[in-house]
Amino acid sequence: MLELNNFSNFFFIMNIYVGNLHYDVTEDYLKTIFGEYGVVDSAKIIMDKYSGKSKGFGFIEMPNDNEAQEAVDGLNGSEVKGRNLKVNLAREKSESDEKRPPRKKSYNR
């Protein structure tokens, strides 16, 4: 029988923001680091669509909120490949984020 206190872990995935990544860090490497704290469902590094290089941040999904919080607490500020990671729970995209006006084009590059 399923215990009620573990019930939420089957429906809510904790989404974790990871910033200040070295450009050589891979998704598999992130899974390994966060895997020390618990089960990792996925790791995604955001890539620049033109250059194909890392933008220096990504997201981790962990199904257990206690393990996710332990990972945030344990890894925030820790050094990985010469950089101090910025790790926190990712915030949901707000309506204001989606309604942001387009950036002005700069031709002075």
pLDDT reported for residue 96 = 61
Residue 75's closest CA among 65, 93, 89, 64? 89
β-pair partners for 101? none
Coil, strand, or helix at residue 81?
coil
pLDDT, residue 1, reads: 43
Residue 13 CA, chain-centre distance (Å), reads 12
Q: Is the pTM of this model over 0.95?
A: no
Q: Which CATH superfamily is domain 23-91 in?
A: RRM (RNA recognition motif) domain (3.30.70.330)
Q: Helical H runs in the chain?
A: 27-35, 65-75, 95-98
Would you kindly state where each structural domain of the chain is located, as residue ranges?
23-91
Q: Which residues make Cβ contacts (< 8 Å) with residue 48, sequence separation at least 6? A: 54, 55
Token pair listed for 40: 């990792």
Question: What string of pLDDT tens digits covers the 109 residues of the chain?
Answer: 444 455 444 557 899 999 999 999 999 999 999 999 999 999 999 999 999 999 999 999 999 999 999 999 999 999 999 999 999 998 876 666 666 677 777 666 5
